[in-house]
Amino acid sequence: MTKKEKSVNQSARAIIRVTGVVQGVGFRPFIYRLATGRGLTGRVINTSGGVEIDVEGPAGMIDGMESAIRQTAPPNCRITGLEQAAAPPAGYTSFEIGRSDGNSQGWQHVSPDSCTCNDCLEELFAPADRRYRYPFINCTNCGPRFTIIEDLPYDRPLTTMRRFEMCSDCRSEYEDPADRRFHAEPNACPACGPRLWLADQRGADLDAVDPIQEAAAALAASAIVAIKGLGGFQLVCLAQDINAVERLRERKRRPQKPFAVMVENADDAAAFCQITPRERELLESVERPIVLLEMNGTVMMPGIAPGLGRLGVMLPCAPLHFLLMDAVGEPLVMTSGNLSEEPICRTNGEAVSRLAGIADYFLFHDRRIISTYDDSVIMVAGGRALPLRRARGYAPLPVELGTAAPAENAVLATGGQLKNTFCLIRGRDAFISQHIGDLEDAETLLHYERTIELYERLFQVYPEIIACDFHPEYLASAYARERTRMPVQVQHHRAHIAACLAENRFPDAVVGVSFDGTGLGDDGAVWGGEFFLGSLKDGLERMAHIGYMPLPGSDAAVREPWRTALGAVWQHVPDRFDEAARLMQVPGDRSASLRRQLEAQLNCPPTSSCGRLFDAMAALIMGVRQISYEAQAAMELEALALAAYGGGVAIEPFPFHLDTGAYPYILSPAGAVAAALSGGLSGSDPGVLAAGFHLGLSRAIVKTCRTIAKSNGLETVALSGGVFQNRLLLEMVMDGLEQKGLYVLSHVQVPPNDGGLSLGQAVLALYQSRT
């Protein structure tokens, strides 16, 4: 035996500490198999800081552990830290999976819920299996996680599974290191686990022998069924049943906003949508988001996405979805179980009281949900995945900031008013909450406060800095003032750009384009068409903006785009006010009173909002008089423009003028407003006009960026704000900037809309409180 062989075979002991997403993902069984396979003894335990591995045996075998862990870890785990230290011999005789150490110091990541794995699916549809058609099947690689965790460490007694005592079969799987359910905390079977039942609209159990088959039969008979999904109730009906869809719209008070559709697999989606390889990959990913897909023109589902060219599609996620899809055999509308914009229902009791007038039946179960969890929404733009709503499958995994933020203080940023999320930063991790919703009612506010408490507890963050929006009347800002006397106020559009820089870990100066619907500006105006210059560290200075126009009636104008259009015309082409009113068929008395309001400047806040410019365009070009959901006019205008681009007609870009006389530069849309008006009056094809607006605006954005970048020696542009959910505009701007040699940063982890705001607030507040 050589000297080297001797030392390799010498007995040694090491403690390996692993942090990251390592609990609830089959990590300990994996370590068990790895260690025993190498002839090592010792133990592995969950700690509240991660997982601790204590191994003893031949030094050569211990040495290889680290790389083996990194290279062969289970699919859902994400390792962020791995430290190994030598330890004195302990004389272990076997390898064991120990209990959790129960130590409440430290913290750990929490795994999101993940889609049923292929092994479980096989069992689910195997008649001989003891879990055949059992809707709560799961294993160490799949199943509920975040939605059932009450506290850490992740062990059954601290989840909502604690009330289900495992039967002897389940327990022996749970205790057998060779079993794929070894320490699967939500492990269950029909004998011992949660139960599913069908109830009528009053919530009374119908004693169905097979609740799923009977729910499927009800759906086939045009019923609306509320099902208890992973993160709350979902309302379901047949997607191709126009009567059911219309009834659902009426009862849910959601007249036009698009519904998402669930199909059995990606090939089924291809029957009515175009799917790129990247989109297919996202559809089939374990996160199972809703993916926005271009419809291929086959009208199979009228009423699902009226006036739009894109459809939200998802594949089954939980076993209940797989079973239901299998029983129904056709696409289902799958929408959040709530009335209009209220939060999604979480408990059976809530569902009965709040969904009583909407659902004809309920599919209930008795596993409690801790965290409500909407479906996530993603689209692919310019080949990159762009999140529009970050929830199930993604939260509460943190966004890693690297050195993009100083890791000094813990921060809570309370987010915006609409599409709210909050953000907790601790060290280099930014925990952005799942989509909370619009903070406009007591119900949502309660959900918001409860979720902040849960995150602070789970991740043990004790915020030293509290940040909020500049707008004092946002409920999230009021909440921040409850927590501290002096929250750090961050201007809305700067927060958008900061979010984009932070998630891209971009430390240097950029030109930031922050285009959205509404946000309070430094000067008290309603901003939303802003160009900034600067960095996270040095702050962002406003360099240019879309020229102001009055917003007559403020919120009323948001709901009725014709008002905004008349405000734009009054500002930019005042002598054509009456023509514009005629074009949009505004009754004479109403246009006259609006004119008086504009002249008196009564409740006419100035705005640079690009979202409002879209509204004005949609009103002039398409005659959109009223909208029923946020950004509806802009989405319809985009769909129209996209169709025109496909038609091969020459597109004339609408004119914009950049006035560089003084800072901030003014990007005037006067020419575009005039072009829309003239085009509308001369009866031009609305699609061609819509495309002309998109083309003109994208060129104006590119030109403005280039002007600012050039005079400041910069080569990077960051794009953020809800307007960049417009894929056509986003792709045209990206292409244009890249053609001019500019590098583009866009969102990939958090939404460009207000769902990403909290991240930007948190990071800017960290820097601001430093100086």
Q: Hey, is 56 helix, strand or coil? A: strand
CB of 165 to Zn ion, least distance (A): 9
Q: Give the footprint of Zn ion on residues 151-180 (CB under 5 A).
A: 167, 170
Report the nearest approach of Fe ion to the CB of residue 495 (Å).
Answer: 8
Of the pair 170, 405, the CB lying nearest Zn ion is at 170
Q: State in angstroms the smallest separation of the CB of 448 from Fe ion.
A: 18
Distance CA 477, CA 488 (A): 10
Residue from the set 86, 90, 191, 658 that interacts with Zn ion by CB under 5 A: 191
Q: How far apart are CA 220 and CA 223, in angstroms?
A: 7
Near Fe ion in 721-760, by CB under 5 A: 754
Task: Return the residue of 192, 327, 407, 643 that touches Zn ion, per CB under 5 A.
Answer: 192
Which residue's CB is nearer to Zn ion, number 143 or number 517? Answer: 143
Distance in Å, CB of 214 to Zn ion, minimum: 24
Mark the segment that binds Zn ion (CB under 5 A) among 35-43, 109-117, 276-284, 640-648. 109-117
Q: Least distance to Zn ion from the beta carbon of 125, Å? A: 13
Burial of 715 (0-12, 13-18, 19+ CB in 10 A): middle
SS3 485: coil
| Part in contact with Zn ion (CB under 5 A); list of ranges 97-105, 183-191, 393-401, 504-512 | 183-191
Q: Select the span of 192-200, 531-539, 549-557, 738-746 touching Zn ion (CB under 5 A).
A: 192-200
What residues between 502 and 521 interact with Fe ion by CB under 5 A? 516
Toward Zn ion, which CB reaches closer, 140 or 535? Answer: 140
* 73 touches Zn ion (CB under 5 A): no
- Residue with smaller CB distance to Zn ion, 322 or 394: 322
Q: Which of residues 634-663 bind Zn ion (CB under 5 A)?
A: none
CB nearer to Zn ion: give 149 or 708. 149
Give the chain's radius of gyration (CA, Å). Answer: 28
Measured from the CB atom, the residue of 194 and 337 that comes closer to Zn ion is 194
The Cα 497–Cα 320 span in angstroms is: 40
Ramachandran region, residue 42 (left: φ > 0; alpha: ψ -120 to 50; beta: rest): left
- Burial, 642: exposed, middle or buried (Cβ in 10 Å; 0-12, 13-18, 19+)? buried
DSSP string, 516-579: EEEEE-TTSSEEEEEEEEEETTTEEEEEEEEPPEE-TTTHHHHH-HHHHHHHHHHHHSGGGHHH
Q: How far is the CB of 194 from Zn ion (least distance, A)?
A: 11
Of 174-193, binders to Fe ion (CB under 5 A) are none
Residue number with the smallest Cβ distance to Fe ion: 516
* Distance between CA atoms of residues 9 and 59, nearest Å: 6
Number of residues lying near Fe ion (CB under 5 A): 2
167 binds, among Fe ion, Zn ion, none (CB under 5 to 8 A by kind): Zn ion
Return the number of the residue (170 or 697) whose C-beta is nearest Zn ion: 170
Q: Which does 117 bind (CB under 5 to 8 A by kind): Fe ion, Zn ion, none?
A: Zn ion
Alpha-carbon distances of 751 from 404, 514, 698, rounded to whole Å: 18, 13, 20
Residue 469 is a binding residue for Fe ion (CB under 5 A): no
Judged by beta carbon distances under 5 to 8 A according to partner kind, the member of Fe ion, Zn ion, none in contact with residue 438 is none
Exactly one of 22, 34, 69, 120 binds Zn ion (CB under 5 A); that residue is 120
Residue (283 or 475) nearer to Fe ion, CB: 475
Q: Residue 84, Cβ neighbours under 10 Å: how many? A: 17
Beta-bridge mates of residue 310 = 294
Sheet of 429-432, strands arranged across:
399-400, 429-432, 423-426, 411-413, 465-469, 488-490
CA dist 358 → 155, 216, 254, 320, 678 (Å): 37, 17, 12, 21, 45
Q: Residue 25 or 237: which CB sits closer to Zn ion?
A: 25
608 Cβ neighbours under 8 A, 6+ residues apart: 521, 525, 526, 527, 528, 529, 530, 545, 546, 547, 548
Residue 8 interacting entry, from Fe ion, Zn ion, none, C-beta within 5 to 8 Å by type: none
Q: Which partner in Fe ion, Zn ion, none is near 317 (CB below 5 to 8 A by kind)?
A: none
Region 403-462 residues binding Fe ion, contact defined as CB under 5 A: none
What's the closest the beta carbon of residue 626 comes to Fe ion, in angstroms?
22
Alpha carbon distance 480, 448 (integer Å): 12
Q: Tell me: does residue 142 bind Zn ion (CB under 5 A).
A: yes
Report the partner that residue 142 touches, choosing among Zn ion, Fe ion, none (CB closer than 5 to 8 A by kind): Zn ion
Tell which one of 139, 215, 315, 732 touches Zn ion (CB under 5 A): 139
Instruction: Please give the single-letter amino acid code of residue 504.
Output: N
CA-based angle 187:193:196, to the nearest 5?
125
Size of the site for Zn ion (CB under 5 A): 10
Binding residue for Zn ion (CB under 5 A) from 25, 117, 558, 666?
117
Cis peptide before 398 (omega within 30 of 0): no
List phi, psi (to 5°) of 43: -160, 160
- Binding to Zn ion (CB under 5 A) within 484-543 occurs at none
| Contacting residue, 61, 77, 189, 227, with Zn ion by CB under 5 A | 189
How far is the first Cα of the chain from the last one, in angstroms, to the nearest whole number? 63
Question: If contact means CB under 5 to 8 A according to the sort of partner, which of Fe ion, Zn ion, none does residue 516 touch?
Answer: Fe ion
Instruction: Select 178 or 191, whichever has its Cβ closest to Zn ion.
Output: 191
Q: What is the DSSP letter of 125?
A: T
| Nearest distance from C-beta of residue 702 to Fe ion, angstroms | 21
* Partner in contact with 191, chosen from Zn ion, Fe ion, none, beta carbon below 5 to 8 Å by kind: Zn ion
Q: Which does 350 bind (CB under 5 to 8 A by kind): Fe ion, Zn ion, none?
A: none
Q: Cis bond leading into 157, ω under 30°?
A: no
208, two tokens: 């169905």
| C-alpha 434: how far from chain center | 7
Residues of this chain that bind Fe ion (CB under 5 A): 516, 754
Residues of this chain that bind Zn ion (CB under 5 A): 117, 120, 139, 141-142, 167, 170, 189, 191-192
